[in-house]
Amino acid sequence: MTTPPEGAPAGTPGGVTDGQETPSEVQVPGQQPPAGAPASDPPVEDQQSLPARLGEERIAEPVVRTGMFGVTSTGDTSGYGRLQVHQLPLPSAEPPYGSYFDEVAQALGSALEASGLGFTGAVERVVVEYGELTFHVRREHLVAVMDRLLHDPALRFEIFSGVSGVHYPDQPGTELRAVYHLLSITHNRRLRLEVSTPDSDRHMPSVTDVYPAANWHERETWDFFGIIFDGHPALTRIEMPDDWLGHPQRKDYPLGGIPVEYRGTKVPPPDERRSYS
């Protein structure tokens, strides 16, 4: 038996008592394990967010598209004909959102309640992703929300950066989206709004009375996606020729194209190229 160092009380590390030797290394809570020690499994709650688990959840969702572009009429010419795209659940965030996002949501809620509408009555859901705050607004309340965002002193989103369209053919009832980007110079904040509409009823109100700068942006969104902005002063084509048929940025729009001659070689249009399916 070894004797403890001089001055060390019995039963403390550095001494030996009752014939039991003290371990040479004692693991302190929160301390990194020693080199070479086997790694312990992460807690159960952390395992649910591992990339492998998230990948399993995505694969379990139904397949909404095959191939790179979802083309069905001419065969996939991208070389990714066996690619399967699974439907993802709609993202949604709950408060607190972080950053200045909570202040914007509370200010908008107060401004809407003053008019008898309320935040949940106008906003379907809130999404916080990639450092951005997005309000999914019901289309019938879009103008009222825009008016509060511009004129309420706690909000003051003075800059209308633009509106663009998105087409989700695999989401029945919300196939078409209009996405608005706003900027507050007063408070140095940014905000995104999304408004959805079914393909069978492609109407939503124009916001040109609140933001006159939306005029040309709404024309472009109608030109490319076919969203009809009710109340627009002159909803005509702005990019495509006036006699153009259809809306070319929709995902169900045919590829089409014309043959191109390049240094003695003729490149056929997409619908006549080799299919890899």
Residue 267 pairs with which residues in a beta bridge? 260
**Residue 142 falls within a domain, yes or no?**
yes
Task: Give pLDDT tens digits for 146-173.
Answer: 999 999 999 999 999 999 999 998 889 9
Q: Is the pLDDT of residue 249 over 60?
A: yes
pLDDT, residue 261, reads 72
Sequence letter at residue 191: L
pLDDT, residue 65, reads 76
**Residue 259 falls within a domain, yes or no?**
no
**Residue 15 falls within a domain, yes or no?**
no
Q: Tokens 């004797």 sit at which residue?
A: 3
- Considering its fold, how many domains does the chain have in total? 1
**Residue 239 falls within a domain, yes or no?**
yes
**CATH assignment at residue 147:** 3.30.460.80
If you average pLDDT over each of 31-35, 159-163, 256-260, which comes out highest?
159-163
**Residue 102 falls within a domain, yes or no?**
yes
pTM of model > 0.75: no
Q: Is the pLDDT of residue 96 over 50?
A: yes
Higher pLDDT, 254 or 227: 227
209: containing domain = 91-246
Please say whether the beta carbons of 192 and 161 come within 8 A: no
**Residue 158 falls within a domain, yes or no?**
yes
Burial of 108-121, coded b for 16+ CB within 10 Å and e otherwise, reads: bbebbeeeebebee
Sequence letter at residue 186: T
Confidence band of 104 (pLDDT split at 50, 70, 90): very high
Q: Is the pLDDT of residue 81 over 80?
A: no
H helix intervals, 164-236:
214-225
**Residue 251 falls within a domain, yes or no?**
no
